[in-house]
């Protein structure tokens, strides 16, 4: 066994022609286990909400449920892999495995093997190498989001490795979130609102995401959180992703925002935020480990300065169709020339 995953195991194999393969085998009866876990999670969330009403958890549970059920669908994961292979084709120093449907089944996903070392090994390298890897990680996550409305929702440290030539290998495509173009537009609107001090634009962004009952006090609290999250992107200089690597400032911000939202009656966060925030926090953790010093502001502006919702929606539609990514709740579509999973 090469590695264990939450829903299965990854084994290394060799094809008849000598190609190295990764075979991801799902544990037996995982669908029943996932449903049981989701029921327990719903109960735990409801009990917690009785004690702490700062955040309404219904949408959070619904989002986690949908993504976990999708992770059981290896046809969908193979389509996500094809999608990322196309989206990142023009990115230098990035590798995505190729799924092999002819030797895959509903519980076995076979793909090409990508050789690499854990990304934390790079933390011992020079600042130039650490910055190079951090730059690639930033683009691996945010080119798909700002150009296609797609994000890899599981930036776990085990889901990427670094090859000897410093290519970053992106692995595990079970948790991929697809967003409406308007949601991506709202993310950029909020950035500009914070940058310009435009309160009206910030309110527009929050409402476009589905936040309701926005009092002036709630808006102030949400803006405090947003300023912390967007902080590195608003600062036009080379810097660490978090200036105090201990994380003390972040904990204080989280505690203060939570306390004030609870005092003000709570909020119902849109479900899209669950894996968007997970990706941002997980990726930020990687940058902290690497101690990368990059001008995040300039990286971000390279992605958003020519943003157009209509263009993103068109790119997304074409990319999803070409990769055979299914609509929510439907099985993966067969692509021309590709045998079906059995």
Q: Going along 82-223, which residue ranges are E strands?
A: 94-95, 108-112, 117-118, 150-152, 160-162, 168-170, 176-178
According to the model, what pLDDT value does residue 278 have?
Answer: 87
Give the tokens for residue 166: 């410093």
Burial class, 196, CB count within 10 angstroms (exposed 0-12 / middle 13-18 / buried 19+): exposed
The one-character DSSP state at 8 is E
105 backbone dihedrals φ, ψ, rounded to 5°: -135, -175
According to the model, what pLDDT value does residue 215 have?
Answer: 93
Q: What is the pLDDT along the chain (342 residues), one digit of tens a residue?
A: 566 667 899 999 999 999 999 999 999 999 999 999 999 999 999 999 998 989 899 999 999 999 999 999 999 999 999 999 999 999 999 999 999 999 999 999 999 999 999 999 999 999 999 999 999 999 999 999 999 999 998 888 889 999 999 999 999 999 999 999 999 999 999 999 999 999 999 999 999 998 887 999 999 999 999 999 999 999 999 999 988 644 457 788 889 999 999 999 999 888 998 888 888 888 999 999 999 999 999 999 999 999 999 999 999 999 999 999 986 644 454 554 455 554
pTM of the model: 0.91
According to the model, what pLDDT value does residue 1 have?
Answer: 59
> Locate tokens 């085990």: which residue?
158
Please name the residues in contact with 221: beta carbons below 8 A apart, sequence gap of 6 or more. Answer: 257, 260, 261, 264
């Amino acid at each position: 066994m090469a590695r264990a995953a939450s829903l299965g195991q990854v084994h290394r194999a060799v094809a008849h022609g000598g190609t190295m393969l990764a075979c991801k085998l799902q544990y037996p009866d995982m669908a029943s286990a996932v449903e049981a876990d989701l029921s327990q999670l719903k109960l735990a969330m409801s009990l917690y909400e009785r004690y702490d009403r700062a955040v309404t958890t219904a949408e959070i549970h619904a989002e986690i449920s949908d993504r976990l059920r999708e992770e059981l669908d290896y046809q969908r994961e193979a389509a996500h892999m094809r999608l990322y292979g196309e989206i990142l084709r023009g990115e230098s120093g990035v590798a995505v495995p190729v799924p092999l449907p002819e030797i895959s089944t509903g519980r076995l996903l076979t793909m090409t093997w990508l050789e690499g070392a854990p990304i934390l090994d790079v933390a011992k390298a020079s600042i130039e190498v650490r910055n190079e890897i951090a730059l690639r990680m930033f683009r691996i996550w945010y080119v798909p989001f700002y150009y296609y409305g797609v994000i890899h929702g599981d930036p776990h440290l085990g889901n990427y490795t670094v090859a000897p030539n410093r290519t970053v290998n992106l692995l595990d495509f079970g948790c991929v979130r697809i967003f409406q173009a308007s949601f991506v537009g709202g993310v950029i609107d909020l950035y500009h609102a914070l940058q310009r001090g435009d309160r009206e634009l910030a309110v527009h962004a929050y409402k476009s995401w589905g936040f309701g009952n926005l009092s002036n006090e709630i808006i102030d609290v949400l803006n405090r959180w947003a300023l912390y999250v967007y902080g590195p992107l608003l600062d036009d200089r080379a810097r660490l992703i978090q200036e105090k690597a201990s994380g003390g400032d972040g904990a204080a911000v989280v505690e203060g925002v939570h306390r004030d939202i609870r005092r003000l009656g709570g909020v119902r966060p849109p479900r899209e935020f669950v894996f968007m925030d997970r990706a941002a926090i997980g990726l930020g953790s990687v940058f902290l480990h690497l101690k990368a010093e990059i001008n995040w502001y300039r990286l971000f502006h390279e992605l958003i300065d020519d943003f157009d919702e209509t263009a993103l929606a068109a790119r997304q539609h074409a990319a999803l169709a070409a990769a055979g990514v299914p609509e929510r709740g439907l099985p993966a579509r067969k692509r021309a020339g590709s045998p079906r999973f059995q």
